[in-house]
Structure 1
Amino acid sequence: MAQKIAVKRMEPGVICNKVLDEFESEISVLTKVRHRHLVLLLEYSTQGLKRILVYEYMPQGELSRHQFRWKNFKLEPLSWKRRLSIALDVARGMGYLHSLAHQSFIHRDLISSNILLSDDFRANVSDFGPVKLVLDGGKSIMTQVAGTFGYVAPK
């Protein structure tokens, strides 16, 4: 049986230092961590201008689709029980990234479009481009503003 995959391809026309840094950061993080609530990177290619990431496929798509555009997609609204389950899955994934992984990472772009849902609505955090490594023993770090433009939490 063939496995369904999701492919994220960098367009050659948009390659710049920031995009390359985020692409390499995503590979760096996802090859070091593995958790049931972090999207699974299956393969990647960094050859020339063909930069490709291959992930496990998340059939229910982005959480934002179920939160904000459910009517457009003719979906049922998420029940409160399902919302709580998704929130707990995300918290478990973040807890692993922050303190349980071999190295600690700060995500910096945790928004509903970066939370993907499996068939049974289990949440998987994705988009690790803006992630920042916490140096050994560090309890907090200072970072520059990162994330999706226009969607940064207030201070």
Structure 2
Amino acid sequence: MESGVICNKALDEFESEISVLTKVKHRHLVLLLGYSTQGLKRILVYEYMPQGELSRHLFHWKNFKLEPLSWKRRLSIASDVARGMEYLHSLAHQSFIHRDLKLSNILLSDDFRAKVSDFGPVKLVPDGGKSIMTQVASWDVWIRCP
């Protein structure tokens, strides 16, 4: 990300992502290893997720010469995502609403454990708040038959 070229919204999301990921830690949320804001470049460094985005395995598995996901694996991924979202929404010290959960923001490890990523559009739930008004950024249906 080059700050001379990007808009304020992108910079806000960059700062939001750093803010959230330095406050939360869960086995189903992607781990932020570091970041840089020196000069005009903005860099986020995450843990490596070798199986990539879930969307590859559901929509493009033939193109990448992958095996289709079994239903057992799909349910395991769904459970991992649900646990990550539950932590983020209600179990973390501060509660956050993700707002952009989609297939490309779910990353898979070597053993197909899922982690939620992309915390730029996240909103903080006010202290003592049970809910907040927000807009959904996007939505994908992700349990598909191979």
**TM-score normalised over the length of structure 2:** 0.92
- For the residue of structure 2 that corresponds to 1:47, the secondary structure is coil
Q: Is the 8 A contact 2:53 2:103 kept in 1?
A: yes
CA distance in 1 between partners of 2:112 and 2:89 (Å): 23
Cα offsets for 1:73-111 (capped at 9, x unmatched) = 000000000000000000000000011101000000000
Deviation at 1:12, TM superposition (A): 4.3
Confirm whether residue 105 of structure 1 aligns to residue 96 of structure 2.
Answer: yes
Confirm whether residue 31 of structure 1 aligns to residue 31 of structure 2.
Answer: no
What are the ranges of 5 or more consecutive residues in structure 1 without an aligned counterpart? 1-9
Deviation at 1:48, TM superposition (A): 2.5
**TM-score normalised over the length of structure 1:** 0.87
RMSD of aligned C-alpha atoms? Answer: 1.3
Structure 1 or 2: larger strand share?
1
- For the residue of structure 1 that corresponds to 2:99, the secondary structure is coil
1:7 corresponds to which residue?
none
Confirm whether residue 122 of structure 1 aligns to residue 109 of structure 2.
Answer: no
1:71 corresponds to which residue?
62
CA distance in 1 between partners of 2:102 and 2:139 (Å): 9
CA distance in 1 between partners of 2:19 and 2:105 (Å): 18
Q: Is the 8 A contact 1:130 1:146 kept in 2?
A: no
What are the ranges of 5 or more consecutive residues in structure 2 without an aligned counterpart? 141-146
1:81 corresponds to which residue?
72
Aligned residues: 140
Structure 1 runs, 4 residues or longer, greater than 6 Å off: none
- Report the more deviating stretch, 86-95 or 12-21: 12-21
